[in-house]
């Protein structure tokens, strides 16, 4: 698993875990970032924009570094 913040533009992944303090984890899961959710990186950086269930979500800071995702082996750049 890698942090969601490391995905490149257009890459998709599934959420594997959300780590951090209880309040942050709860807030991110309420937004839909729960285990198994499919996400797509629309714009990396800060603010970062991801696609989730037909919606776009914006994040600042290191919140996305706390979301760990599974990326398909063929999608990982070497």
Q: Report the distance separating Cα 49 and Cα 5, nearest Å.
A: 10
Residue 65: its pLDDT value, please?
83
Angle CA(43)–CA(36)–CA(75) in degrees, nearest 5? Answer: 50
pLDDT per residue over 33-71, tens digit each?
999 999 999 999 888 999 999 999 998 877 888 899 999
Q: Which of 7, 18, 66 is nearest to 40 (CA)?
A: 7
Tokens found for residue 36: 């198994």
Q: Report the distance separating Cα 43 and Cα 58, nearest Å.
A: 9
Has residue 20 been placed in a domain?
yes
Has residue 35 been placed in a domain?
yes
Residue 7: its pLDDT value, please?
93
The fraction of the chain above a pLDDT of 90, given in percent, is 69
Has residue 56 been placed in a domain?
yes
Decide if pLDDT at 74 tops 80: no
The number of distinct structural domains making up the chain is 1
Residue 59: its pLDDT value, please?
87
CATH number at residue 6: 2.30.30.90
Residue 63: its pLDDT value, please?
81
Query: Which residue range forms the structural domain that includes residue 31?
Result: 2-70
């Amino acid at each position: 698993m890698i942090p969601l913040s490391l995905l490149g533009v257009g890459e998709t992944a599934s959420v594997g875990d959300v780590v951090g303090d209880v309040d942050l984890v709860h807030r991110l899961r309420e937004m839909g970032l729960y285990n198994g959710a499919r996400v797509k990186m629309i714009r990396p950086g800060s603010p970062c924009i991801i696609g989730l269930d037909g919606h776009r979500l914006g994040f600042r800071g290191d919140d996305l570094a706390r979301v760990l995702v599974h990326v398909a082996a063929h999608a990982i750049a070497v």
